[in-house]
Structure 1
Amino acid sequence: MSHEADRASADRESADRESADGESDVSRRRFLQVAGGVVVGSALGGQRFASAQSERTQMKDDFDGDVATATIAQLQAGLEEGELTCLAITEAYLRRIDELDRQGPTINSVLMTNPEALDLAARLDRERRETGSRGPLHGIPILLKDNIDTGDRMMTSAGSLALASPADADAVLAARLRAAGCVLLGKTNLSEWANFRSTRSASGWSGVGGQTRNPHVLNRNPCGSSSGSGAAVAAGLCAGAIGTETDGSIVCPSNANGIVGIKPTLGLVSRSGIVPIAHSQDTAGPMARTVADAAAILSALVGPDPADTITTGSNVESHPDYTRFCTRGDLGGIRLGVARNYTGFHEGADLLLAQALRALGELGATVVDPADIPNKGDYDDAEYEVLLYEFKAGLNKYLAGRSRLDVRTLEDLIEFNLAHAEAEMPFFQQEIFEQAQSKGSLQDETYLEALARSKRLSGSEGIDAALQQHGVDALVAITGGPAWPTDPITGDHFIGGCSSPAAVSGYPHITVPMGAIYGLPVNLSVFGTAFSEPLLIRVAHAFEQATQLRVTPRFLPEVDLTTA
């Protein structure tokens, strides 16, 4: 980690901004040729929110639109050929954030942009010229969910006004992204406290950031808790983003926003420097527009961290490059089971699943239907008990390590919210906080029994049992239904999903677009046993490439019922 920390520290140093106007103009013209044949529209949904009164402005708009839809590999190709600069790419994303997130449709997905972003981009351009590229993410702008520490001028708040100050140091994953050459572009809004404060919360709302909107239909919910990360990726405000998940917080917003999300196996990615909910389930993971992009980001995140011992176990199976599993070709020899007991909550989603299963069969996969996962719902209470215990213990430890906070414990946070109720609790309360505060230590028998039960029923007697009983390599299901209308008064109207088995067991889960219902995306989930990411990536990538079902956001004010 010392090498990564040195590089991360160097990247944060102030750099003299280099003038790249002439260089950028050439890059912009050339990039339209490099990536123009593979992007989906030059300005998302064909709508333009910037002026096009001059040739230069028109060119800038076209370039920004192409950057918004290009893959990481396409951006990297332009950088390697000298036809693009990191500075030009970063400027384009910052303009889009201003035009779409702050103005125009006002998605409200980005809490803050990094004041050092342009300096970092210029520094990375200079480094590429002088010493070469660090790798496939050199010069690529990435957004981070605002529960991930960065040791710079950006705050790490978890959406709470009580934490609205900078952290002391980078989270391990943030340092790894810096070391890989990423530009940390900014921090994204999230469901406050990662949706673990109230049972009536509205996903995408925080005291710091307000309500994030779904870029497909603005009055619909982006799901959560990685709400801003999902919305920003879909809207083309970054090349990719990092989300975190305890149960559903990567895969649900990926579904609602129509992007790819990877919830890795517990132990692949360090949690050090991430505001915790539950150490037995928490993980960070990539959110991107394509499977290959998500795999590229995952490759930079994985690795052991002595401060997070789950990442150092002998059972951890990681790979230095997950993009090598993004192979074209058929899925012959792969058996996929359909977890039917995680379907049926929306007939439109069921129809999309039927089409997806046909596509998987045409790719050569053997589809076993049904292949239900045992114990659905049988460990819900045990999981909740575990989360309450672990949240109190983990949060108290995290807060004790932050030097610039007035709150040091969960009890302090409860008091802060009561004292600032108008700003922090205008719509919903903090009953989950209060329940967690009443819990004892992690040595309590109640906690230990709940942890053992939830892990057993979701893992060895859940996903693993389904794989073995039906003789399949992985399972597929519907990630979730179409996005519901945002409702701050009564909270989320979640109709169903399949996140819990993989979340509670700590197993991997990938979600990939499989179509839309009246313009609202719905995704296909692929999940399996521990450390089966290579297989899941192969299946998801093959499906994605064969179907191309990701829909481009249209920034509609409400659902267009004239188009199915």
Structure 2
Amino acid sequence: MKIINKLLCGLVIFTVACIAQAQGNFATTSEIRAALDSGTITSELLVSRYLKQINQLNDKLHAVTQLSPLAMEEARRLDRLRREGQILGPLHGIPVLVKDNIDTGDGLANTAGSILLSDNIPADDAFLVQQLKKRGAIILGKANLSEWANFRSTNSSSGWSGTGGQARNPFDLSRSPCGSSAGSAIAVSAGMIPLAVGTETDGSITCPAAVSGIVGIKPTLGLISRSGIIPISAYQDTAGPMAATVTGATLMLDAMVGQDSGDSDSLAPSGQYADALNPEGLKGKRIGVVRNLMGYSPQTDAVFELALTVLQEQGATIVDNANIETLEKIHGLEFELLAWEFKDALNEYLANSPSQYKSLEALIAANQNARETEMPFFGQEIFEMAQGSRGRKEESFAHKIEELRQLARAQGIDATMAKHNVDILIAPTVSPAWKIDHINGDHFTGSATTPAAVAGYPHITVPMGFVQHLPVGLSFFASANQEDRLIAAAYNYEQASKQRRAPRFLNGDPAPYISGTN
């Protein structure tokens, strides 16, 4: 479905090829910033370029669901401020997509991918959106996602939503984009946007980033405010930046952070994370290999072994078999607790939203009435499981939450790092993208995402290489508030390995995407 039929009148609209030839190549945030600073391009023209990209590619990729009616006006305002010498921040005049479970006050619905929330039109921006705007970012629109952030059915197809249809991997249209931040990752990878916001409870930023060949940062819990985000769990949910490069993701992280009185876990940032972009960030670091987060894809593991060589060449010491001994117990506890928390967290969001549906129970009934559009491929077993619980009032909830956090934190990541005296832990992020299967659901074999997700600790994935034509990612994670050391290591690895590659659509046309390394 075309979501733009024509662009605003009065603009000179360039094709991607024309912009690349006449204006320079603007695939990365660094290149865009340089072009804006030099006057080679304006934000107005940049917005029109990305609207053109979305219009050309979205029928194949289903990455974008809504476009902001205010984006072009905001671009012109930011161009005017630039001419007057006022630069709001490192993202001044750069377009950004936000995942469609984040409130924006521009008249767009916050749907979580469900047609049931088409009337959920927030009056105000989420706190993180306010922060982005203060730093000069232009909210271009909303990105498709796995409906309800992949928390409706155990048989779901990642990247499918009632509002956006099936999002598709830009490296192979027959394969999954993973989820739930599927549209955010696809749009960045395919050059439909330079930057996007994702959200993660467990793997929803890092998995789609890895299989789409981009960078994703899941920060420490509380570093980015959760106000205005449709929730799963206050104990694990966080938003995070998704970009083509570590530099772009880091600049975006700096723009998103900020202490929010409306979020009880909100943290003040510790300096500028861009200061950690060190081309020698691996030198002298001890890197622990978490072997029990491997084995779900032998071909991916083989690419990982090559990555270890790069890390060593850059001055890192590899400490093998730095395994997280509590991993099995973490997996055993996580899902049930998420379902209990989800019931109450979602009810609280809905009660204060413009949506006509004020509870999970009401959504379950409405999904039954809209089965043909909302449940053509999979059901709502997770919804029903959550509704059948007592939520946070379950007798063992508080005890089990504390037990789970200890397993992931003090007894998990922290204990592993201390035992092996390492600065960072690494593993392959996830297998290559699997085939989309609306009959059997996702063919997910495992990932490195859970320990950091449950702990609320930072996790960065960076392009690691390829299994045939499909990208795979390398995960860096550590203890709380250690984003700076992860960014330094990830940046050094990215610059040394140069594994990012433009997607070439199989079963479709090649993506008009421009490579870059900064």
Shorter-normalised TM range: over 0.9
Inter-partner Cα distance in structure 1 for 2:23 and 2:180: 28
After superposition, the CA RMSD in angstroms is: 1.9
Q: CA deviation at 1:130?
A: 2.1
Matched, 1:534 2:484: yes
**Which residue number corresponds to residue 96 of structure 1?**
53
Amino acid at match of 2:280: G
**Which residue number corresponds to residue 374 of structure 1?**
325
Q: CA deviation at 1:350?
A: 1.1
Inter-partner Cα distance in structure 1 for 2:310 and 2:324: 22
Q: CA deviation at 1:64?
A: 8.7
DSSP-derived class of the 1:242 partner: strand
Matched, 1:228 2:183: yes
DSSP-derived class of the 2:61 partner: coil
**Which residue number corresponds to residue 75 of structure 2?**
121
Q: CA deviation at 1:62?
A: 4.1
**Which residue number corresponds to residue 64 of structure 2?**
110
Deviations 1:6-38 (A, max 9, x none): xxxxxxxxxxx99664xx98xxxxxxxxxxxxx
Inter-partner Cα distance in structure 1 for 2:242 and 2:145: 14
Amino acid at match of 1:186: G
Residue among 286, 306, 315 paired with 1:355:
306
Q: CA deviation at 1:406?
A: 1.4
1:458·1:505 contact (CA, 8 Å) conserved in 2?
yes
Inter-partner Cα distance in structure 2 for 1:301 and 1:381: 33
Inter-partner Cα distance in structure 2 for 1:280 and 1:65: 44
Amino acid at match of 2:25: D
Q: CA deviation at 1:156?
A: 0.8
Q: CA deviation at 1:319?
A: 3.1
TM-score after normalising by structure 1: 0.86
**Which residue number corresponds to residue 80 of structure 1?**
37
DSSP-derived class of the 1:241 partner: strand
2:199·2:237 contact (CA, 8 Å) conserved in 1?
yes
Q: CA deviation at 1:82?
A: 1.7
Amino acid at match of 2:335: Y
1:64·1:92 contact (CA, 8 Å) conserved in 2?
no
Which runs of 5 or more residues in structure 2 are unaligned? 1-7, 511-518
DSSP-derived class of the 1:228 partner: helix
**Which residue number corresponds to residue 156 of structure 2?**
201
DSSP-derived class of the 1:285 partner: strand
Deviations 1:298-353 (A, max 9, x none): 001111111101015xxx6x234211111112622210000001112212111111
Q: Which has the higher contact order (CA 8 A, sep 6+)?
A: 2
**Which residue number corresponds to residue 133 of structure 2?**
178
Q: CA deviation at 1:167?
A: 1.6
Residue among 382, 388, 398 paired with 2:339:
388
Matched, 1:259 2:209: no
Matched, 1:398 2:349: yes
Inter-partner Cα distance in structure 1 for 2:455 and 2:487: 19
Matched, 1:290 2:241: no
Q: CA deviation at 1:381?
A: 3.3
DSSP-derived class of the 1:526 partner: strand
**Which residue number corresponds to residue 9 of structure 1?**
none
Matched, 1:161 2:120: no
Inter-partner Cα distance in structure 2 for 1:194 and 1:289: 22
**Which residue number corresponds to residue 450 of structure 2?**
500
Inter-partner Cα distance in structure 2 for 1:144 and 1:548: 27
2:145·2:179 contact (CA, 8 Å) conserved in 1?
yes
Matched, 1:66 2:20: no
TM-score after normalising by structure 2: 0.94
Q: CA deviation at 1:496?
A: 1.6
Inter-partner Cα distance in structure 2 for 1:519 and 1:546: 21
Q: CA deviation at 1:382?
A: 1.9
Residue among 377, 382, 400 paired with 1:432:
382
Which runs of 5 or more residues in structure 1 are unaligned? 1-16, 26-49, 51-56
Amino acid at match of 2:407: L
DSSP-derived class of the 1:379 partner: helix
Residue among 226, 229, 235 paired with 1:274:
229
Matched, 1:189 2:140: no
Residue among 354, 359, 365 paired with 2:316:
365
Report which stretch shifted further, 346-355 or 187-196. 346-355
